[in-house]
Structure 1
Amino acid sequence: MIGNLETFQDELAASGFPPLVNKLAGADFRGRIVTSDLGPLRLFSLDTPESACIGRERDAADGENLAVKVMARGRTRIEQGRGDAELGPADLVLLDPTRTLRFESTAAAHVTVLVPRRELRIRPAQIDRLIGERIDGSHGPGALVSVLARESARAAAEFREAEALRSAAAFIELIAVALEARLGDRQPAPDERLRDRITGYIEVRLADPDLSPPGIAAAHHISVRRLHKLFEDQPLTVAALIRRRRLERCRAELTGSGRTVTAVAARWGFPDPTHFSKIFKTTYGYSPRALMTSNRARTTRTRTAGPAQDGAHQDSR
């Protein structure tokens, strides 16, 4: 437990949590923070006393992530955007760290998941409608997200890197399903249906070196201009979406396989290994070889530890 509000806030800020001002905190403040990572997700498991907090508007440059807040214990009222959510145990809400936020809470336990905005692939207009809206955590997709958030916060450290990446991808997809369900059961507009078909088409052809906007447009009997128009309000352009999904496949394979960087890059549409290494590092902050070296070191440590533990067990018999 942390018995000082300033220390608590400093630890949150150092971990990347959006800053908040707690107007009720006093000398008897007690709080707990546990931070963990699951692939590109950052999870914060918090225990907090009765609180009344304000989060000020932040620069758009801080908007790389959206936040999904899941209640485990206690009750919270949150105001952000046009939303005014009353949350009880298991409920969740989508928040934008760049926007003004107000909330009042009983003593509570909750998990906040920072999700890269680009990974959700939900249109900005839809995000605007979802911000600050309560999502029921007692049934349907919301219940699955609620349980998974709380379990992931407890167990994330136990995942190997390849497992973490794949689990995070599934978690993000489930969050997207819960958010889309909250939007309602309305029939998607024709453009949305076409864009969904195109996204699926891209996903199953990522290994095709000829995958490109002209070929995608031709396969769907539309012009390249029309294709780009379909994606103009999306987080990524068509070309950027292809590149991002290929990089994600490469990262997962480099973590979990013994193949070379050149072989993996070529398999997912990057014939020039030097160019691949450059954009990989720009995207993730480390090179493909650094990822492989780190993974080999962890594997070696695990294998080295295994016999020693077995030997110790045998000696004790």
Structure 2
Amino acid sequence: MTLVLTTASVPDGERLAYWRDALGRALVPMAVTARHDGPFEGRVSTERLGYLRIATIEADAHRVSRTPAHLAATQAPSVACVAVGVLTAGTATLVQGGRRAFVAEGDLMVYDTGRPYSLDFPGRFAAHVVHLPRRALGLPEEDLRRVTGTAIAGTAGFGALLVNFLTSLTASVPPCAPAVATRLATGVVDLFATLVEERTQDDASPDANPGDHLVLRVRDHIERNLGDPDLSPGTVAAAHHISVRYLHRLFEGEGITVARLIQRRRLERCARELHRPDATAPTVSAVAQRWGFANPAHFSRVFRAAYGRSPREWRGARDELLPAG
């Protein structure tokens, strides 16, 4: 069901307060400051697609900010989200985590609703915003922090793919059965997770040593073979015609060993799949086997060590992603 909130029929002197409450209902509570003295105009529509919340906003120039006070009063860690917005008209400045990013028309803006941020729109603008539950992403905190508080050009790579997909999807959210809605939501999550992985790999220094290119090839090989239970430093080294010793030397500056990288990426894939609110999802053991864990007891042990819950407990918490009502 679509919820539409507009200032059109609100008295001029009450419009800004109404808009602040409208954004709080459609997105998250935040402060709103107008950029001009005249009557304010704004319209926001919001609806659900599976476990995603989608909002389309058109409004006059204003600034919004989510402060520590808002977080303390309203934010539940279990439902924290990463917001991915597509600016379809106008410009904006996004500030979060010590970063300041200029957002142009056609760009993606990415921010974490569980941390303070501000968005300044100097003129009239339009945007689509999708809230992705952090637990559905299954991505490590360090990777998410690399992309939150940033603007991503929508002209190349997965940025362009995600902009096109979100624009067409949010322009007219199709009526569909719950199972189909969940699959569409999962498609958005997977595209964003892939974008994060692409951006993480692209963070290599421009003056990196020649071995960095090989590190990227090794990482790509690992990603494509996570489901192979025989994937190991030995098989990775053999696939690239290098010794295991040299492979370990390549990863000395990566902050993680090859074996730990394989395990972490497998666990992230399992966590993401287990937490999807889909009644037809495979069993815990099937998910573990799909991502290369041949021993159920070992999988349960390393999963609990990484996420603080057993795989079954993690899967049971997926109901937190379902919309109320």
Scaled by the length of structure 2, the TM-score of the pair is 0.62
**Structure 1 match to 2:97:** 81
- Counterparts of 1:78-227 in structure 2 under 5 Å? 78-105=94-121, 106-183=123-200, 184=202, 186=204, 196=223, 200-201=226-227, 219-220=230-231
**Structure 2 match to 1:69:** 85
- Residue 251 of structure 1 is aligned with which of 273, 278, 298? 278
Three-state SS of the structure 1 residue aligned to 2:118 is strand
**Structure 1 match to 2:26:** 15
CA separation in 1, counterparts of 2:120 and 2:320? 37
**Structure 2 match to 1:208:** none
Matching residue's letter, 2:21? D
**Structure 1 match to 2:301:** none
**Structure 2 match to 1:55:** 66
Three-state SS of the structure 2 residue aligned to 1:201 is coil
**Structure 2 match to 1:259:** none
Deviation at 1:155, TM superposition (A): 2.2
Kept after mapping to 2: 8 A contact 1:82/1:131: no
**11-20 or 81-90, larger mean C-alpha shift:** 11-20
RMSD: 3.9
Matching residue's letter, 1:67? A
Distance 1:85 1:286, change over 3 A: closer
Kept after mapping to 2: 8 A contact 1:78/1:102: yes
Matching residue's letter, 2:149? G
Is residue 30 of structure 1 aligned with residue 65 of structure 2? no
Could you list the per-position Cα deviations for residues 89-143 of structure 1 after superposition, in whole angstroms to 9, with x for gaps in the alignment? 1101210112222332111000111111133333222222222222001233212
**Structure 2 match to 1:307:** none
Unpaired runs of 5+ in structure 2? 1-5, 205-212, 234-256, 289-310
Kept after mapping to 1: 8 A contact 2:136/2:275: no
CA separation in 1, counterparts of 2:283 and 2:263? 28
Identity of aligned residues (%): 21
Distance 1:279 1:185, change over 3 A: closer
- Residue 40 of structure 1 is aligned with which of 51, 59, 76? 51
CA separation in 1, counterparts of 2:110 and 2:321? 30
Matching residue's letter, 1:284? D
Three-state SS of the structure 2 residue aligned to 1:78 is strand
Matching residue's letter, 2:227? Y
Kept after mapping to 2: 8 A contact 1:78/1:85: yes
**8-17 or 102-111, larger mean C-alpha shift:** 8-17
Kept after mapping to 1: 8 A contact 2:80/2:114: no
CA separation in 2, counterparts of 1:11 and 1:76? 20
Distance 1:253 1:108, change over 3 A: same
Deviation at 1:233, TM superposition (A): 7.8
**Structure 1 match to 2:17:** 6
Distance 1:177 1:20, change over 3 A: farther
CA separation in 1, counterparts of 2:274 and 2:144? 25
CA separation in 2, counterparts of 1:266 and 1:78? 39
Matching residue's letter, 2:113? P
Three-state SS of the structure 2 residue aligned to 1:182 is helix
CA separation in 2, counterparts of 1:190 and 1:141? 18
CA separation in 2, counterparts of 1:164 and 1:76? 30
Deviation at 1:232, TM superposition (A): 9.4
Matching residue's letter, 1:43? I
Matching residue's letter, 2:165? L
**179-188 or 147-156, larger mean C-alpha shift:** 179-188
CA separation in 2, counterparts of 1:190 and 1:164? 35
Distance 1:151 1:26, change over 3 A: farther
Scaled by the length of structure 1, the TM-score of the pair is 0.64
Unpaired runs of 5+ in structure 1? 203-215, 255-263, 271-275, 288-293, 295-317
Distance 1:158 1:19, change over 3 A: same
Distance 1:98 1:26, change over 3 A: farther
